[in-house]
Structure 1
Amino acid sequence: MAATKYCYFQDDDWMIKHLRSMYSNFLRFPNLIHTDTNADVYSSTNWKWCFFDDDIDLHSCYSWVGTGAFTSRENVLKFLKMTSKTEMSSLEFIYGDMYFTTYLNQVPYQLENSLIELPQENGFSLTGKDRMLNKLYMHKALIRLYNYLSLLKSKNNNNPSTQMIEDTKEFSPTLYERDVRSPCHNDKCLFLTNKHSFPNVKLFKYKPYINISESERLHSSFFNTQHFISYPYSHAVDNDNSTAWISQDVIRKDDYIGLDLLLPMPVPLTFNLIIDHKSDYFNHLSIQISHDGSAWVSINNIIFSFIMKILTIIIII
């Protein structure tokens, strides 16, 4: 029913503090649904709840929309068409929010930060029986999507002229091309890094006969996400010097971290960067700033404090 180009979803039992920064990134890539979640769920939605099969162009990761989600009206209409094409029952449609991100067959652009859950009787919980119910419908959605894509692939193979009728290719930026990770605590910037926290999701090829709980077990036996949950991206920009984002993978050449300030700042700004490493580590840092993301100025002084109008800071290792 919405007449606007974009839609926003949020359950009433969650307090979302970072709408401005999430919306700013969404406007760059409005073809991708943007969701907001905490470290625990993020470790599932970017690893255990990602389902890929290149043979049929399946590339879907599940994400809740109740903790904040921006999407285009076009994607909502696409979802409604998919419910018809896959003959979703009226009972299943009641749980449409549990099908939505899966049915789009595009990995949501997810931001990780702390969430505030408000007390509410009979509210949906991220744990317990509600989470099991969610897995049930996640599994049903995946089977329906898998069967639909398999049928589409078969038709295209039998009649190559129909291959471009329905585009099932993965949108850019893909999961491993994205570097926006978390909103800053004050909602005035975004934390960037090209360091991924989980293995390649394509290591596990989706099999419709494996339920979600078993898939989770297989993923967990291969890679434990507890380190990320303890030291998530958001700890880099939570304004708390007692917490930190700690990469589980070693730092390599061309790895970077950065801040995107979203808009040109009308006032001078001061930044303090705290990195807990030995002094020789700093000899290999390259610090650059940019007003527009295209033209960059290098800062040679490693221990730096500066005041200027900027849009983005990138630190390249």
Structure 2
Amino acid sequence: MPSARLRRPGCLNFSIATLVISISVAYVLRYWHPLADGTKAVRTHDPSTQSSSVHAHASDVSADTTAVVLNWSRFPNIRRIANLLCSPELAGVLHTVLIWNNNPKPVSYEDFDADIGCSPSRLVIVNSPRNLYFQARFVACMSANTTFCYTQDDDYLILPEILRSLHTRVSKEHGPQSVHLLPPHERLSSELRYVCNEGRGLHTSFAWLGHGAILRRSLVQRFLSSMQLVNATEEQLLMADNYYSVLLNEPPEVWFDQGIELGGGQAFTVGSEGELRNRRHIMQAGLYLDSLLNARHDFGGRARKCDDPPPELIGRAPCTGRPCILETSIRMLPVLSHAANSTTDMLDNEERHGKRISDDALDNNLTHAPSKAVDSNKATAFRSLSVGRKGDYVTLDMLVPQVAAGMIWLVDEATARLLQHCVYESSVNATRWVSSLGCNVRISHADGR
């Protein structure tokens, strides 16, 4: 896929402490806004007549992903999310849109408008006979016959171009097995919870799925097999989100998200009781993984070193406005030790690392994350607090071939001077890079000077 990259050459030494970037990809695009109010149409699904698998929409034979959305107490949000997932922009990605209704009040065809964009064969509603909590997303994914599953909860809206970026990323030949979208504070938690022990073969972290995650269906099958192997209880299966990423024993790739919070309804995790429940189950997941490691369970992965950070935790963010992915090696956090003797050290490591990070760094991570460079908002920017280092890079993956790509970088004056000393390269395969891009710096001021 074509990419553009800038990097700092090793021969230069910069004393500029701050990098501030906001990128606008210079294309005129038709903008489809998913936030328009209104309800859409689906068909009622009777679980008793459900076949063993969810079949793909016949007219979208190239699509290879099943979307699974959990409903509990925010059905107005579900209608908006379904409207987005059934949009024409995603017809080539999503075979099936599956709404799993955990609420005892049934959802029916009449609860949606007729112009949702999904045919009855493409949209499936499961009125669950009981609340399966988080287990439902995994049961639903295993009922599909697609290569990938995309899942989210009912309190977030993910733009079509972001879902397309997720799909392109996991579809690459040597791409990640899964990608999780996380708001900056949750992504920070995932990075701080990464634990590693080369001798034991321990390499894992924790990441939620409800903000939007795409994953190979085979990964879900592997996870459920592990839960069966450790004799997980019914309660633990219901809380499957707390176990999923930990038990896979490979750090999930996590992105800074561009998600839109919808709110409403009643949240499942509320207050200290909910937090304690989550910690208890995450600790139990750690104990289960330790038992599998002690038994020399084959996780099917390659031997790997304890990288800092691991490739899955390099800063990445999807663009808004069009599908593309920003990636940068510029550090947002200080160097941290992720060594651990046990997976259960995960939460202690998070607490210890959190005390080492300055308030300024924490605030910058939340308010000036890499996602702020590609959010189509001129008032926001990605900002680095650290001095420029040899080899720092920023890459923009355009995902599909481009005849000519222009970018406008909105930066402060210090960063503009720094950019004049960077190397600009482009590539069609992210392997062979050509120095074909240049930086034409024009400093403009708010008053127009």
Q: TM-score, normalised by structure 2?
A: 0.58
**Match of residue 158 from structure 2:** 16
What is the count of residue pairs matched by the alignment? 291
Q: Does 1:3 align with 2:145?
A: yes
Taking the aligned partners of 1:8 and 1:170, their CA distance within structure 2 comes to 28
User: Per-residue deviation at 1:30?
Assistant: 5.2
**Match of residue 22 from structure 2:** none
SS at match of 2:191: helix
**Match of residue 180 from structure 2:** 35
1:86 to 215, 223, 230: 230
Alignment of 1:67-78 (within 5 A): 67-78=211-222
RMSD: 2.9
User: Per-residue deviation at 1:151?
Assistant: 2.9
**Match of residue 427 from structure 2:** 290
**Match of residue 316 from structure 2:** 181
User: Per-residue deviation at 1:55?
Assistant: 2.5
SS at match of 1:272: strand
2:406 to 270, 275, 283: 270
Q: Does 1:259 align with 2:396?
A: yes
Q: 1:93 to 1:14 in 2, by over 3 A?
A: same
Answer yes or no: is the 8 Å Cα contact 1:57–1:169 preserved in 2. Answer: no
Q: 1:132 to 1:247 in 2, by over 3 A?
A: farther
- Which amino acid in structure 2 is aligned with residue 145 of structure 1? L
User: Per-residue deviation at 1:253?
Assistant: 2.1
SS at match of 1:252: coil
Taking the aligned partners of 1:140 and 1:289, their CA distance within structure 2 comes to 46
Q: Does 1:205 align with 2:205?
A: no
**Match of residue 245 from structure 1:** 382
Higher helix share: 1
- Which amino acid in structure 2 is aligned with residue 285 of structure 1? C
Which region of structure 1 is more displaced relative to structure 2, 49-58 or 278-287?
278-287
SS at match of 2:181: strand
**Match of residue 278 from structure 2:** 134
**Match of residue 243 from structure 2:** 99
Answer yes or no: is the 8 Å Cα contact 2:249–2:299 preserved in 1. Answer: no
1:45 to 190, 214, 225: 190
Q: Which runs of 5 or more residues in structure 2 are unaligned?
A: 1-142, 443-449
Q: TM-score, normalised by structure 1?
A: 0.81
- Which amino acid in structure 1 is aligned with residue 356 of structure 2? F
Q: Percent identity?
A: 23
- Which amino acid in structure 2 is aligned with residue 90 of structure 1? E
Deviations 1:242-287 (A, max 9, x none): 2221123321122111211110136x54321123243652442111
Q: 1:286 to 1:83 in 2, by over 3 A?
A: same
Answer yes or no: is the 8 Å Cα contact 1:112–1:234 preserved in 2. Answer: yes
Q: 1:200 to 1:80 in 2, by over 3 A?
A: farther
2:328 to 164, 172, 193: 193
SS at match of 1:152: coil
- Which amino acid in structure 2 is aligned with residue 271 of structure 1? M
**Match of residue 353 from structure 2:** 219
User: Per-residue deviation at 1:166?
Assistant: 5.2
**Match of residue 367 from structure 2:** 230
Structure exhibiting the larger radius of gyration computed from Cα positions: 2
Which region of structure 1 is more displaced relative to structure 2, 240-249 or 54-63?
240-249
Which region of structure 1 is more displaced relative to structure 2, 294-303 or 8-17?
294-303
User: Per-residue deviation at 1:75?
Assistant: 0.8
Which region of structure 1 is more displaced relative to structure 2, 2-11 or 28-37?
28-37
Answer yes or no: is the 8 Å Cα contact 1:32–1:71 preserved in 2. Answer: yes
Taking the aligned partners of 1:215 and 1:202, their CA distance within structure 2 comes to 9
